[in-house]
Amino acid sequence: MFLWWGDGLIQFYNDSYSPIFGTQGRHPKAMGQKGIDCWPEMWDFIYPLITKVLSTGESVWYDDLLMPILRNGKMDDAYWTFSYSPIRDDQRQIKGVLVICNETTEKVNHSRILKENRDELEFAITAAEFGTFDLNPATNRFGANARLKKWFGLKSDEEIQLPIALESIADWDRQRVMESIRKALDYGSGGKYDIEYTIVHPKTKKRRIVHALGKAWFDQNKTAYRFNGTLQDITQHKKAAEELQKSRQLTDLTIKSMGLGLFNIDFADNTIDYSPEFSLLLTGSIKKNCKRKDFLKYLHPEDLQLRSQAIQNGIENGSFFYTPRVIWDDGSIHRIAVSAARILTSDGKTSAFSGTIADISQQEKNRDALRLAESRLQQAQRDAAVLFKNVTDSSPTGLWLCNTQGMMTYFNKTLIEFTGLPYEELLAGRWTRVIYEQDYLQAKKAFLDAIQSRKHFDVLFRAEKNTGELIWCRAAGDPFFDSDGNYGGYAGFCMDMDEIISGRKAITESQHKISAMVEQSPFGICLFTGLDMKIEIANDIMVSYWGKDRSVIGLPMEEAVPELKGQPFMDLLQEVYRTGETYYGHAVPADLKVNGKLGTYYFEFTYTPIRDSKGEIYGIMDIAVDVTDQVMASKKLEETRLALTGAIELAELATWTLDAGEKTITCSERFKNWLGMDTSTAPREQFLERISPPYRDKVSLALEEALSGSSEHFYDYEFEIVNKITGQQRIIHANAQVLYSKDGSVAALSGTAQDVTKQRSLQQELAFKVKEKTAELVSANAELEASNRELSQFAYIASHDLQEPIRKISIFTDMMRSNLDKNPQKVQFYIDKILTSSRRMENLIKDVLQFSKLANITQQFEPVDLNDAVADVLTDFELIIEQKNAVVQIGELPIVEAIPLQMSQLFGNLVSNALKYTKPDAPPQISITAQPMAESEKRLHALDLELEHIKIEVRDNGIGFSQQHAEQIFNIFQRLHGNDQYSGTGIGLAMCRKIMQNHKGEITASSQEGVGTAFTLIFPRLHEK
């Protein structure tokens, strides 16, 4: 307690205050000294407070205020809780200021340290990973690591039955866990598994609470084939949560024990709401249903003016504080501290005051309570530190902490024993010595990049244990933040991954061998075994030939494909099995039930006997190609027209033709419905009436320019139409080709129209989200624009390229009819022209349909050895390579995660072009090389830096082309040469670009006329980080 008195502010204090000065402080000379002489370091702050109390008679109060003090020969940062109250003389004049003060520096520092320790403990426990499990749903066999088996009290057998493991789960949780596992194995649940439950050790009866996270994996039949995940011991976490709840309850109790009274005064109706403590502190007893004026009579008459001033200040400044006296019912006088703040209405006017009152005569008792609270905080801090060390040291996983600069601040016992280095050396940075030299830079970069970006990191590297053993390790960590959002450093773990890495490699190699044998073939392939010709292996192409699904694998051929009974194939298989002689079938018909319909198909196939190590035949390899299209060539013209109609319907396009002479428009049924017309042919004006006014004149002018022959030969416009019946609005993208008569005049405008309303709406939505949220939708917008370009190109071929052979057929048919009796030689010439146009149309539609399949990715990504893929492609071109004396050089190519068939199509098209566009005087030279991309290159191409990308170059010495066409050649149906020079449809390189897009990559070309061309492929080796 402290007192300033008189004009000179002479100070007096009691013995309890003297320790504040310090051992080398101002005591005892401060007694009777002027305030300005005693406190020069803080006088600028405290003197205005003293002046305010002396001039206004209002008390001031501060909690945990930072105010440095000069003591013990130096400035100390100190925190204070204090109040300044006016002291009056015998004439009731304010002559001094009473200070009730308590230093809270230790409490504030302890609170902050305790909070930081709790944050570190929380992140360390969250980052730890413990037990792992793996369940085979088909066999119900359950595997786990040694730690999990120890928790469950299981034997060390490699695998056990799941029910045996479930016996260690507490009775009250077992059924819930079984139901959660059943739900995860249901495809509809997404395979997620997240549950907490209790384990009871069968021998020690020790209970352990765990948090299980897992995922079920499903095959193409939506059947779970694997269920694995992790378990984390959260027993201590649960106990800590209970302690936290107790701490919160203790805090609530402490607040109540402070004896604060709460009140709210509503100025609208002059009512007051209050707590029982309010009436107790004001009157000496708990009173209910009192009005505001009832309490005013308890205020000391001499303090009523003080109250009025305080309320007025509150109205002006938003809050008030004053310390009046109150006279209780028993006649005793008490001093209370009243603190309140105003509540504003929506128009900024004061509507009420809410606040608290406290009996400040009890401050000494409150200080005792504060000292007790500080003692508890100190004990809690010590307990938290011990708990943190015990929890982390008991973990079998290595745990660590680092500060914001990446300097290590903690290692648990597991990491210390792993490295064999003293704790002090580990903290000094010597933990890096255990990392294998070849992996050091990679691991260091991953860690430093994460520290800089404050993101999760996860890295694999080899490390040398203190025993000298070299093992694979996994280190991972996450940044942690305090409750105020301030970055505090990283918490993470380091665990032995040697066993897991070895197992994964073995599985990957096994899967690759199986898939490479079947799936990488561009033909149908299967393996029959035994006399009953059981289907041992079959790829998707062969299964599709049979019209079946993969459930036929494992069945005898006659049972799997019963419609083959009575056909020659079973006898041929038995003959090959008996004689060991390979059989070759050419265009052999087979009646097969595909998609539920029995039909006749034609195949080229070989039956090759397969022998074991003893030379005995145990199976037959069947390699087949569907050649039905070639056999049915005579029917192709009609099928082509039907396919064209189907393709237009598939693309949801409408067709229309404007007759230049009649000025009428004929449209398809879809276009008629869009416009709300009752006829498919009508004057042009009726169509224009259904175009929205802002577009009508522009569309009419564009049509006139196209018909006049003054504009380009191709019409491309986008506008809005209105259905006259329903009022529905659509945005239409129309394309058309100008058709000319024999005399060169414009005969008609024929083309397609597409409803792009949804695309335009999506573009607007994407543009808004890109600007508002993230850059992710930039990619989606680019894909949409690419889709529009492909649709536009498709519309072009639908209206021009595919119609061009039809027009030729029509023209040559007319000519042939005119010369049937006049000139037989010309008739044969016209027939050859018709057949040539028909074959060109057939090739165009076949390539269009092949290209359209690339837009619908149904095949799964899987490991593909590009060396094998390119070797298979070169086998297909063996004859032309030999004929042209071509030299092909192939470098070492990587294994990538891709769609096998599309990789074959990609390299097939590039090699085909290299062999096609050659110079007549030079043998073709082709090279294919690959190399990983450096980080600088990935940054240049704006690629994901965390994914490994490869760059493959396919180079030739062919005729080349001008670099200005380097982008144009990838557009569908774009060709730089006529069919009379080099045959083709102009779709091959467009397919290559689409395949690279499907694999999240890119393809570019660089070329020089007469020198050659180089195609560069860039795509990720794996599609997951």
Q: What is the pLDDT of residues 19-73, one digit of tens each?
A: 887 776 678 888 888 888 888 888 998 899 899 999 999 999 999 899 888 888 7
What percentage of the chain reaches a pLDDT higher than 70? 82
pLDDT, position 606: 93
- Residue 943 backbone phi and psi in degrees, to 5: -100, 160
Min mean pLDDT across 210-219, 358-367, 690-699 is at: 358-367
Is residue 78 helix, strand or coil? coil
Question: Is it the case that residue 579 has pLDDT exceeding 90?
Answer: yes
User: What's the pLDDT tens digit per position in 729-760?
Assistant: 999 998 888 888 878 788 888 888 998 888 88
Closest CA to 400 of 118, 128, 116: 128
The amino acid occupying position 740 is: Y
Of the CA atoms within 13 Å of residue 386, those in its CB half-sphere come to 6
pLDDT, position 605: 92
- Residue 942 backbone phi and psi in degrees, to 5: 55, 45
Instruction: Supply the mean pLDDT for the chain.
Output: 83
User: Quick count: other Cβ atoms within 10 Å of Cβ 849?
Assistant: 13
d(CA 59, CA 83): 7
The average pLDDT across 325-346 equals 87
Of residues 377 and 177, more confidence is placed in 177
pLDDT, position 125: 41
d(CA 775, CA 767): 10
**Contact between 587 and 604 (Cβ < 8 Å):** yes
**In terms of DSSP H, where are the helices of 750-802?**
757-772, 776-796
Residue 275 burial (C-beta neighbours within 10 Å; 0-12, 13-18, 19+): middle
pLDDT, position 600: 92
d(CA 26, CA 20): 9
Angle subtended at Cα 367 by Cα 362 and Cα 369, rounded to the nearest 5 degrees: 95
pLDDT, position 887: 94
Residue 336: band (very low, low, confident or very high) from pLDDT cuts 50, 70, 90? confident
The average pLDDT across 882-911 equals 92
Question: Is it the case that residue 121 has pLDDT exceeding 50?
Answer: no
Nearest-10 crossing angle of helices 824-854, 988-998: 10
User: Quick count: other Cβ atoms within 10 Å of Cβ 357?
Assistant: 25
pLDDT, position 360: 81
**Contact between 235 and 248 (Cβ < 8 Å):** no
Question: Is it the case that residue 419 has pLDDT exceeding 60?
Answer: yes
Closest CA to 67 of 121, 114, 20, 30: 20
Closest CA to 231 of 177, 182, 267: 177
The amino acid occupying position 651 is: A
Of residues 689 and 496, more confidence is placed in 689
d(CA 1025, CA 945): 10
The average pLDDT across 660-667 equals 89
The string of DSSP codes covering 538-561 is E-HHHHHHHT--GGGTTSBHHHHS
Question: Is it the case that residue 187 has pLDDT exceeding 60?
Answer: yes
The average pLDDT across 280-296 equals 85
The string of DSSP codes covering 304-372 is HHHHHHHHHHHHHHSEEEE--EEE-TTS-EEEEEEEEEEEE-TTS-EEEEEEEEEEGGGHHHHHHHHHH
Min mean pLDDT across 53-57, 605-609, 629-633, 914-918 is at: 629-633
3-class SS shares of the chain: helix, strand, coil, % to 5: 45, 30, 25
Residue 763 burial (C-beta neighbours within 10 Å; 0-12, 13-18, 19+): middle
Closest CA to 605 of 537, 549, 523, 529: 523
Largest pairwise CA distance in the chain: 144
**Contact between 834 and 812 (Cβ < 8 Å):** yes
Closest CA to 185 of 132, 138, 142, 231: 138
Tokens 């009152």 identify what position?
Answer: 357
Extract the tokens encoding 328. Answer: 């209780």
Extract the tokens encoding 112. Answer: 């902050």
The average pLDDT across 795-806 equals 53
Residue 787: band (very low, low, confident or very high) from pLDDT cuts 50, 70, 90? low
Q: Across the strands, what pairs with 98?
A: 3, 85
**Contact between 748 and 741 (Cβ < 8 Å):** no
Helix (H) or strand (E) holding 97: strand 94-103
Question: Is it the case that residue 934 has pLDDT exceeding 60?
Answer: yes
- Residue 625 backbone phi and psi in degrees, to 5: -130, 130
pLDDT, position 294: 84
User: Quick count: other Cβ atoms within 10 Å of Cβ 85?
Assistant: 19
Q: Across the strands, what pairs with 624?
A: 524, 605
Residue 932 vs residues 556, 891, 893, 894, 1003: alpha-carbon distances, Å: 46, 13, 10, 9, 16
The average pLDDT across 785-799 equals 54
Extract the tokens encoding 525. Answer: 């392939």
Is residue 974 helix, strand or coil? coil
d(CA 227, CA 317): 65
User: Quick count: other Cβ atoms within 10 Å of Cβ 227?
Assistant: 21
The average pLDDT across 250-259 equals 58
d(CA 41, CA 26): 13
pLDDT, position 177: 93
**Contact between 495 and 398 (Cβ < 8 Å):** yes
Question: Is it the case that residue 534 has pLDDT exceeding 90?
Answer: yes
The average pLDDT across 71-87 equals 88
**Contact between 110 and 378 (Cβ < 8 Å):** yes
pLDDT, position 165: 84
CA 870 vs. chain centroid, Å, equals 33
pLDDT, position 1011: 92
The average pLDDT across 963-990 equals 77
User: Quick count: other Cβ atoms within 10 Å of Cβ 645?
Assistant: 12
Q: What are the chain's domains?
A: 2-103 (3.30.450.20), 125-240 (3.30.450.20), 258-369 (3.30.450.20), 397-496 (3.30.450.20), 521-629 (3.30.450.20), 635-801 (3.30.450.20), 857-1020 (3.30.565.10)
What residues contact residue 31 under an 8 Å CB cut-off, 6+ apart? 11, 12, 13
Question: Is it the case that residue 159 has pLDDT exceeding 70?
Answer: yes
The average pLDDT across 883-901 equals 93
Helix (H) or strand (E) holding 694: helix 693-708
Tokens 């009775």 identify what position?
Answer: 171
Query: Count of residues for the chain?
Result: 1025
pLDDT, position 547: 92
Closest CA to 797 of 754, 845, 760: 845
**Contact between 623 and 527 (Cβ < 8 Å):** no
Question: Is it the case that residue 1013 has pLDDT exceeding 90?
Answer: yes
Please give the sequence-ordered ranges of beta strands (E in DSSP) within 651-779, or none if there are none. 653-659, 664-667, 681-683, 714-722, 729-740, 746-755
Extract the tokens encoding 996. Answer: 């690279």
The average pLDDT across 1000-1018 equals 93
Closest CA to 4 of 105, 101, 141, 71: 101
